[in-house]
Structure 1
Amino acid sequence: MTTAISKREPRAVKAWEPMQAVREEFEGLWNQLIGERAPGWFAMQMAPALDLTETAKTVEVRMDLPGFTTDEINVQLNNNVLTISGAREEEQKEDVATFHRIERRSGSFSRSVALPTHVVEEKVDAKFRNGVLAVTLQKCADEKCRKIKVHE
């Protein structure tokens, strides 16, 4: 495999974005050394943002998952830890197209969050609408929480 190093145009540093030029320079060098398919120097793995809210009766987790389908999302609750995972396959690219920038992520992700209170594991509602996953969990009243008897 051969890698052609081409001369690039100098970048102007904007007063309000001085680190952007440094990041782009590192990404350009990284791509010359490793190739275009490698992640950028400061690139993060796919980790969708989430919000965790609590009301008097429920705990709700909302996660932005644009471009996903319900078949690509997995929701699990185990020991009061909610885990949301998923995978999105890389789109097939045409050989005739020239891509000047590829920033959308593909691959898999997994986010786990410890819930702030005990919840009823049998009453979990997960809805996916307009690219937002909303998982609603009913809080467990102390007298309704599952008690585990300790044996000698």
Structure 2
Amino acid sequence: MAFFSYTAVENIKAENNQVLSIIDLSTHEIAVSMLMNAFVFEKALMREHFNESYVESDIYPKATFEGKIIDFDPTIEGDQTRMVRGTFSMHGVTKELEIKTKIENLGGKYTLSGTFEAYVKDYNIKIPPLLAGNIAKNISVDFRFEYEPYEG
């Protein structure tokens, strides 16, 4: 999972590989959980500001998504474009989201990918006036999850 913030002053990009996601192929439900302090930035100071001043990862350590893939047929090989509807929770705020996703099925191994926009103000993330030009009002979030059948 990665996010990108573009401003005239500075572009900010971060990636997080500490993300857990599962799909229930019988109900088409999806769940995602990630540690907010696991985002990796180009500069250590960006990571510090992100965790301490913006997302307050000591108070709000995780972000989660719970939803359902609409009109998904897990038996179809190849690509499907489907909407995922659900709730995204971050920084103590939960919002309804509808995300266009690409789902690829290669022999029962699935990849789900897409992009959505998160608006900073929607999640009560406070940006100090001095830094308002450095942080975009909306953040582009890209995700790509790979799934294999659970054999327990």
TM-score of the pair, normalised by structure 2 = 0.31
The structure in which a higher percent of residues are strand is 2
TM-score, normalised with respect to structure 1: 0.31
